[in-house]
Structure 1
């Protein structure tokens, strides 16, 4: 069989094609201007291709007809793909790839609107970021919600895109290599939020794995791609994918965030909140002393 056949979409989606092609073109245009290293380029292309494969190939048939394949898909959409895209730090390259007149006329005004800024402030708040990252996994795996999402193609696409967007926002927040500011969070908080996302994933994966009954009968009703795999075995493998690889990705993210923290600390680029008030108080004290002298 021709392997290229697997790259054909199971269900064509113009949204996926436009989003992937536009992102690829902007990054390719901006690479030379932003001087992106080969390692970062490889990380970006790996992440983008992984998202495309998980969204727009014949594998989508298996994602819709086996629970463990569905969990593998979301592992790519929510963890692997966004992780490697964020790890490539593509912001400067993508920005450089946008024509200057477009940035001035469209991009900058939109990003500076009150609605966009307020939305980003909310979704990228550390507590909200963790709740969204873990909460979306739980929400789409609620049995009644999952049943409807796998039957309604519109809700199915909303589910997949919500995982992609949230994954990009979360990993962008965690893997930011800069000090704060300009980064939204300090290095220490970036380590904490990704660690906070680990226990809920372990609990959910363990619950699915050890469950004594079938939680997601939609796959049996619609027909399974692998008839030789029992429903309970399929569910156990899916639970393991939530439990182990998902948690391990968070551990790797925490280690990278910790590395950034140590690097910034070694270069003296972390703000010390204790020293700033002291420095501000000393001049006032020195000015007041002469006035109080007899």
Structure 2
């Protein structure tokens, strides 16, 4: 068996192919225009490749027939792949890859529409972001729901896509390197958001690991890929994957968010609030930036 055998999809999905191709083409077109560094390019292609492997290769057979392999798939879809894509900060490159006329005619009006902005404001709220990130893990691991999702191919794909999309939104929010605004959250809140997602993952992973009964019998009913692995051992390994690697990814995310915070602070790009503008502050559009103080340079004396 060669590499092409493993890249052959177990269940072909045109949706996966189209989405991956669009993302790849847009990034390839816009990376040069946006002057994306080699480090960011490698990060993006690694993340996109990881998502493709988890969604559209022969490994999907093992994801459907072993619990610990299923947890590995979701670790990639929800953590690893989206993490590296968000770490590459590809927004500028993807936007530059869209033809200018399309951006003017479709993209900008869509993003500026009130319903779209309202939905994004809700989904990107820090409390909602953490609740969705952790809540989806809990939801799809509820025994009755997991049983049906692994038997119904349509619900199975909804499950996988929901994990990938939520992972992209969460890590995009946490790893945004910009100050706020234009970023949605301040650097300190980004650190708190990702730290808040760690304890629930540890609790659920420990519960699955220490459970004395088989929580997910669907794998025994449908047939296991690895017959030499007992159901309880398979379940324990899956719990460990959620408990340790899943939590460690959040710890690494917190470290990157903290690094961005320190970098912005060192460059005096953190915005500070004042009681009000000084009496001699000019009135007009330029006064909008009067609350940003550059402490890295001495301020000139006023006459």
TM-score, structure 1 normalization: 0.94
Farther off after superposition, 252-261 or 262-271: 262-271
CA deviations over 1:64-121 (Å, ceiling 9, x no partner): 0000000000000000000000000000000000000010111111111111111100
Q: SS at the partner of 1:283?
A: coil
* Residue in structure 2 matched with residue 287 of structure 1 by the alignment: none
* Residue in structure 1 matched with residue 255 of structure 2 by the alignment: 255
Q: SS at the partner of 2:214?
A: coil
**For residues 19-38 of structure 1, what are the structure 2 equivalents within 5 Å?**
19-38=19-38
| Distance in 2, Cα, partners of 1:134 & 1:2 | 37
| Distance in 1, Cα, partners of 2:114 & 2:169 | 19
CA deviations over 1:14-41 (Å, ceiling 9, x no partner): 1000000000000000011000000000
| Distance in 1, Cα, partners of 2:271 & 2:2 | 57
Structure 1: gaps of 5 or more residues = 285-294
* Residue in structure 2 matched with residue 291 of structure 1 by the alignment: none
| Distance in 1, Cα, partners of 2:102 & 2:24 | 17
* Residue in structure 2 matched with residue 84 of structure 1 by the alignment: 84
The 4+ residue runs of structure 1 with deviation greater than 4 A are none
**For residues 25-174 of structure 1, what are the structure 2 equivalents within 5 Å?**
25-174=25-174
* Residue in structure 1 matched with residue 297 of structure 2 by the alignment: none
* Residue in structure 1 matched with residue 210 of structure 2 by the alignment: 210
| Distance in 2, Cα, partners of 1:18 & 1:108 | 22
| Distance in 2, Cα, partners of 1:117 & 1:153 | 32
1:268 Cα deviation from its structure 2 partner: 1.1
| Distance in 1, Cα, partners of 2:235 & 2:115 | 41
1:132 Cα deviation from its structure 2 partner: 0.2
| Distance in 2, Cα, partners of 1:43 & 1:50 | 11
| Distance in 2, Cα, partners of 1:69 & 1:167 | 19
1:272 Cα deviation from its structure 2 partner: 1.5
**For residues 186-265 of structure 1, what are the structure 2 equivalents within 5 Å?**
186-265=186-265
| Distance in 2, Cα, partners of 1:41 & 1:200 | 32
Is 2:279 the counterpart of 1:283? yes
| Distance in 1, Cα, partners of 2:186 & 2:193 | 11
| Distance in 1, Cα, partners of 2:113 & 2:14 | 28
Which has a greater percent of helix? 1
Q: SS at the partner of 2:160?
A: helix
| Distance in 2, Cα, partners of 1:109 & 1:8 | 39
1:271 Cα deviation from its structure 2 partner: 1.3
* Residue in structure 2 matched with residue 4 of structure 1 by the alignment: 4
1:283 Cα deviation from its structure 2 partner: 2.7
TM-score, structure 2 normalization: 0.91
* Residue in structure 1 matched with residue 294 of structure 2 by the alignment: none
| Distance in 1, Cα, partners of 2:69 & 2:168 | 21
| Distance in 2, Cα, partners of 1:110 & 1:221 | 46
Structure 2: gaps of 5 or more residues = 281-303
| Distance in 1, Cα, partners of 2:146 & 2:139 | 8
